[in-house]
Amino acid sequence: MLSYRHGFHAGNPADVFKHSVVLALLRAMQEKPGGITCIDTHTGAAVYDLSSDFACKNREFERGILPLWHAAEVAPALDDYLHQVRALNHGDTLRYYPGSSQLLRQLLRPQDRLILCELHPTEQAQLSKHFHRDRRVTLHHGDGYAALANYLPPGNGRGLILIDPPYELKTELQDLRNALEPAMQRFGHGVYALWYPLIEGKHSTPDGLPEALHLRGEKWLDLSIEIAQQKRLGRMFGCGMAIINCPFRARQTLQTIAQLFNNA
Ligand code: SAM
């Protein structure tokens, strides 16, 4: 039974951090001309309407994207990201927020591909409607973990895999570990970006996910942020992005992004 709906959380501080990181990663990979296959294992919907009942329930976007949208000045490391959000809206009013799928699609070059996996039927329907005309996009209505066996290694030899589960199930970390090991065997030089929450009483240290996955070594870049007290909701006090095989040229920008969001 899937109860998680990302519409309640779209545009919150964790989303804004995650999407800025994903954008910077892909941009760095795109400095080389070879085509890239992006896989979003847990896609959610394509675009979120911030005036919907979902988004307005807790108005989480008011703690994330909205202050950035209205900021008089934006740090250069976030310029491109904000530009992508603006591209989806008309004029000065922020209404639509891009999910990871839409953001990735906006960045695709003709030689790149996007594979979107989603389990929830409502989100699947929205994705089908939104992306059906785009030949660069493949929709996988099914388990994103299992899908990795189908799509890795990618035909073009380069890949960015975003793994962004809801962490609703107690088995999530085990599922993630079970999927990651064979994925790494099939495609050891792929760039994998894993989002994880920092929850009071659960992950009390910023190195929660790499620790839990027994991941060690310099091929990892682990970025984590604490969310400023006044922007927190519930027990989530921060989040992180753990990146396997992070391209060297992306590191500086990613670290700058994490500093910008940490306690901001
Ligand atoms: N990546 C999205 C973004 O940044 O805009 C947010 C994704 S949301 C955190 C997680 C999504 O994963 C939900 O829409 C949920 O229905 C879906 N989901 C949960 N388990 C899944 C699985 N095993 N495979 C594919 N999708 C799954």
What pLDDT, on the 0 to 100 scale, is given for residue 216?
Answer: 60
What pLDDT, on the 0 to 100 scale, is given for residue 206?
Answer: 46
What pLDDT, on the 0 to 100 scale, is given for residue 243?
Answer: 93
To test the pocket of ligand 1, the residue of 42, 161, 195 to mutate (highest count of ligand atoms within 8 Å of its CB) is: 42
CA of 156 to the centre of ligand 1 (A): 25
Low-confidence ranges of the chain (pLDDT < 70): 1, 203-212, 214-218
What pLDDT, on the 0 to 100 scale, is given for residue 217?
Answer: 57
* Pairing of β 113-118 and β 191-199: unpaired
**240 and 220 in contact (C-beta within 8 Å)?**
no
CA of 100 to the centre of ligand 1 (A): 10
Contacts of 91 by beta carbon, 8 Å cutoff, 6+ apart: none
Per the confidence metrics, is the pTM higher than 0.75?
yes
What pLDDT, on the 0 to 100 scale, is given for residue 204?
Answer: 47
Q: Which residues sit opposite 221 in a β-bridge?
A: 243
What are the tokens at 264? 């901001």
Q: What are 177-194's pLDDT values in tens digits?
A: 899 989 999 999 999 999
Which protein residues are within 6 Å of ligand 1, measured from CB? 2, 4, 6, 18, 40, 42-44, 99-100, 117-120, 123, 143-145, 164-166
